[in-house]
Amino acid sequence: MLKRDRAKFVLNRLNELYPETPVPLNHKNNFELLVAVLLSAQCTDERVNKVTPALFSEASNAHDMQFVPVNTIYNIIRPCGLAPQKSKAISGLSKILVEKYQGNVPEDLQALETLPGVGHKTASVVISQGFGQPAFPVDTHIHRLAQRWGLTKGKNVKVTEHDLKEIFPQNSWNKLHLQIIFYGREFCTARGCDGRVCDICVTCYPNRKSSFKAQKP
């Protein structure tokens, strides 16, 4: 099976399995989305959704969050891990949003990437899920699955993102990145599938004899 055929199969199969793709991080506005995505780094969405209600009851916008003491933020988000860095980043980006953007989250990838604690992946999620702009956020899970399915040989998430954008239509990116995450969690986990178990892996590589070792980003 050629790479373009594998990509077509993956897209069709994921559309069958996940016709709807609700955003897994609970939020009511783009500021809350930005903070939730920041918190999700090296943390599960489930855990983030447990701590954000208390955080957003303190402040659900940049104007209010800038006045919440860093230590208060820290104590609320501590279960998410990396709390010292994340609490400072949330406080810092809130001040910058007020100073530079009237408290609004900018609808610009490069502007988002200049905010404390906001990398390319986080900015891409906000752009795609918050503003509906085409983006293909790639985390380590998507990177691993894309390699298993023969969609990239990228040794890091930057190359993998480029390769996925090349083989999938732009109008599928925002939905597809969530579909891959959902599928990975349900059928193609790091321990549950070694490239020879789940439906997509088997279809893409029916003759794979040994377990597939993905290049770590």
Q: What is the mean pLDDT of residues 175-179?
A: 96
Q: What is the mean pLDDT of residues 198-206?
A: 96
**Domain limits, CATH 1.10.1670.10, in the chain:** 3-20+136-204
**Domain limits, CATH 1.10.340.30, in the chain:** 30-131
To which H or E segment does residue 109 belong? helix 109-113
* C-beta contacts of 70-77 below 8 A and 24+ residues apart: 76/51, 77/39, 77/51
Query: What is the pLDDT at residue 184?
Result: 95
User: How many angstroms separate the most distant Cα atoms in the chain?
Assistant: 59
Residue-averaged pLDDT of the chain = 95
Q: How does 96-121 read in b/e, with b if 16+ C-beta sit within 10 Å?
A: bbbeeeebebbeebeebeebbbbebb
| Residues sharing a CB contact under 8 Å with residue 108, sequence separation 6 or more, in sequence order | none
Of 58-67, 142-151, 161-170, 190-199, minimum mean pLDDT range = 190-199
Separation CA 110–CA 107 (nearest Å): 9
20 pLDDT above the threshold of 70? yes
Separation CA 179–CA 170 (nearest Å): 15
Query: Coil, strand, or helix at residue 95?
Result: helix
Percent of the chain at pLDDT > 90 equals: 91
38 pLDDT above the threshold of 90? yes
Q: What is the mean pLDDT of residues 149-176?
A: 95
Second-level CATH architecture of 3-20+136-204: Orthogonal Bundle (1.10)
Burial class of 139 by CB neighbour count within 10 A (0 to 12, 13 to 18, 19+): buried
Mind listing the pLDDT tens digit for each residue in 64-119?
A: 999 999 999 999 999 998 999 999 999 999 999 999 999 999 999 999 999 999 99
Token readout for 11 is: 């897209």
- HSE on the CB side for 215, CA within 13 Å? 14
Q: What is the mean pLDDT of residues 5-19?
A: 98
| Residues catalogued as catalytic | 121, 139
174 pLDDT above the threshold of 70? yes
Look up the pTM and report it.
0.92
Token readout for 59 is: 């402040």
Name the residue with tokens 């559309």: 15
Separation CA 58–CA 75 (nearest Å): 12
User: Could you tell me which CATH number the domain at 30-131 has?
Assistant: 1.10.340.30
Q: What is the mean pLDDT of residues 188-208?
A: 93
Binned at pLDDT 50, 70 and 90, residue 217 comes out as: low
